[in-house]
Structure 1
Amino acid sequence: MNINHLFFADDNLLFYKANPLEWNRLIHLLEVYENASGQRLNKDKNSIYFSKNTNQEVKGIIVQIAEAKVAELIDQDTKAWNVQLIKDIFSEEEAASIQKIPISIYNSPDRIIWRGTNNGLFMIRSAYHMQNDIQQRNKGQSSCEKVKEQWGKLWSLAMPNTEILFMWKACNNNLPTKQNLFRKRIVEELDCPICLHEVESIEHDIWECESLRDVWGLCSMKVQKRSLQNQSFRELVFDLLEEMDDEILIEMVVMAWRLWKRRNEVVFQKEYTNPLIILNQTRQKLQDLRLLQSNTSVSTTRQVNCAEPMNQWKAPPNRHYEVNWDATIDQKKCTLWKMKKRTEGEGREL
């Protein structure tokens, strides 16, 4: 091959042996380059040249690989993969992967589909979410198992599901704070309805607002000493789930629920509840939960103690009678009685 000159300074010449395996390796290297650099190669401007002694059949196979479309790999008569053609063009591993792909029975034309959306059309927002999902998966299976364990501990707390559901929504930033409503263009202001000079976010509403300091300052010491430290509210709760016992967690959840209710009272009823009242309500709720848990434990213990095998029926002693009775009432209020007498194991109807 004689090379006279290159038209542009960024042109490249890549040499490889004329066989399908080398071609597939070259394509793989180019894909690695694209992924690493973030650039895409313009394949319409690429060209393939063969040396003069290259076999014509090999040329045809390589050109087929380079220009191959999905429809060309399908036998149009049987509507199945052309196995022999796939094996001729691709490596053994690639051919096996291709043959595992199911083929549509509707003979639809090839089209590009973006798997990040339901309609198959690309959207920047879907790419952002997909990237986040990939990053979460790259953190490893152990991280996912840890998150599941922490959610399980939250939902297993001995308290009503209302408070737990609230905490779950708060951790997932699903509460109607002004910050969230502003993103949905429902409100135009971001200020906290209580302190009036900070952005109302989940973290601010439940943890950081100046109006909360007196309330959190009167609860358990372990909760008092916690601070967000550039954490999200979800990260704070996950740390508490990992470090605190159930009693302190229940106190924290009940307190957060009461503070959110007070926020709603300010927004919708223009009423502000004193921090001491919030604290008393929280303590009363915790006392009720302990009493309920205690009664539940006693009831369970009684059920376990009473769960003894029932004695089988025995005939009454001689000259003693056992009478079983039942009554039914029909629409006309007529009563039908049925009685049975058993003595010494024998049954006689009266």
Structure 2
Amino acid sequence: MQYICYVLITYWALEDKGVFSVKSYYRSIRGEQTNVEGGFWKQLWGLKLPGKIINLVWRACRNVLPVASELIKKYVNIDLLCPQCHLRPETPVHVLFMCSFAKELWCKVGLQDVIQVDESATILQILGQAFRKCSREKQVMLSLLCWSIWYRRNVCVWDKKFLSMFGVQSMAMQLLQDWRRSQEELGTRMQRGSNENVTHLCRPPEGWVKVNVDAACRDQLGFIGMGCVARDHMGRFMRARCATMRGGMPPREAEAWSLRAALLWMDEGMEASKVYF
């Protein structure tokens, strides 16, 4: 009886719309979901931004960024201090908001007022509060600059280069402009395609064999690979083959070689069939 009452109470507390799900109940028990967090996730995933930027913010909020403090917990022998300022331990909050470079950047773009940073706060709490105060455009800028700051940190760690504040800000804006332009062009092409006669891939005629061929260049390993698969006019699998060749060549020549190899292979085993590439 106690268990039933607890489930009913949780159901009433979690589901305002009257739809109970095991997933939400499980996450509530683990303390992973609140109404505030749910609103933040909905806003984050609804931003018109490249997937890699939203994924970076999500990883930061889930506290899985490979910063020094987290790597040390996994027994990685690494210096705990921030590789950029060398003053404080490198934590997710420090990298994105408390490092001297990050602080200066947030002030430069005029977002220091919406970012309330506390030593004990998490990225999720900081961004959750900031998103509630911000317009949609500022939410985009927050996420974009978080990604840019993290990119600058990685360049510093791996390439030993320190990007300037102007370089980081301009890179972020250029990335956003390029992505928006590509989305507009994609939408235009799709709109044009809906009004034009588009040629779709179709099955080969009856009695023919359809062969798909592809090639891969592995210059570092010193060989070229090819693969092909044959299907009948109903799309049913018939046979497949892969092969490699030592050496290197441009991608276009590799594609030509793979096509030739597929032709020879089909000529050996399917003399009575017509081949359709």
What does the per-residue CA deviation read over 1:213-265, in whole Å, with 9 as the maximum and x for residues that have no partner? 3322332x3x2323334232211111223232332222221211121111111
Could you list the structure 1 runs, at least 4 aligned residues long, displaced by more than 6 angstroms after superposition: 300-304, 328-332
Report how many aligned residue pairs link the two structures: 182
Higher relative contact order (CA 8 A, sep 6+): 2
| Change over 3 Å in CA distance of 1:251–1:229 after alignment to 2 | closer
Deviation of 1:290 (Å): 3.1
**2:87 is matched with which residue?**
197
Higher-strand-fraction structure = 2
Matched residue of 1:224: which SS? coil
**1:228 is matched with which residue?**
116
- Does 1:213 find its partner at 2:103? yes
Counterpart-to-counterpart distance in 1, 2:193 and 2:134 = 32
> Which residue type is aligned with residue 228 of structure 1?
Q
Deviation of 1:153 (Å): 1.7
**2:23 is matched with which residue?**
none
Counterpart-to-counterpart distance in 1, 2:59 and 2:138 = 20
Match for residue 270 of structure 1 among 151, 154, 160:
160
Q: Which moved more, 1:157-166 or 1:282-291?
A: 282-291
**1:240 is matched with which residue?**
130
Deviation of 1:162 (Å): 1.1
**1:148 is matched with which residue?**
38
Is the radius of gyration larger for structure 1 or structure 2?
Answer: 1
- Does 1:287 find its partner at 2:177? yes
- Unaligned runs of at least 5 residues, structure 1: 1-92, 98-131, 138-142, 308-325, 336-350
Counterpart-to-counterpart distance in 1, 2:133 and 2:192 = 34
| Change over 3 Å in CA distance of 1:286–1:179 after alignment to 2 | same
Q: Superposition pairs for residues 64-213 of structure 1, below 5 Å?
A: 136=31, 144-213=34-103
Per the normalisation by structure 1, the TM-score is 0.44
Deviation of 1:209 (Å): 0.4
Matched residue of 2:77: which SS? coil
Counterpart-to-counterpart distance in 2, 1:133 and 1:197 = 38
Counterpart-to-counterpart distance in 1, 2:148 and 2:98 = 15
Per the normalisation by structure 2, the TM-score is 0.55
- Unaligned runs of at least 5 residues, structure 2: 5-26, 197-204, 210-266
Matched residue of 1:217: which SS? helix
Aligned identity (percent) is 22
In 1, are the aligned partners of 2:114 and 2:133 still within 8 Å (CA)? no
> Which residue type is aligned with residue 254 of structure 1?
L
| Change over 3 Å in CA distance of 1:149–1:282 after alignment to 2 | same
Give the CA RMSD over aligned residues: 3.6
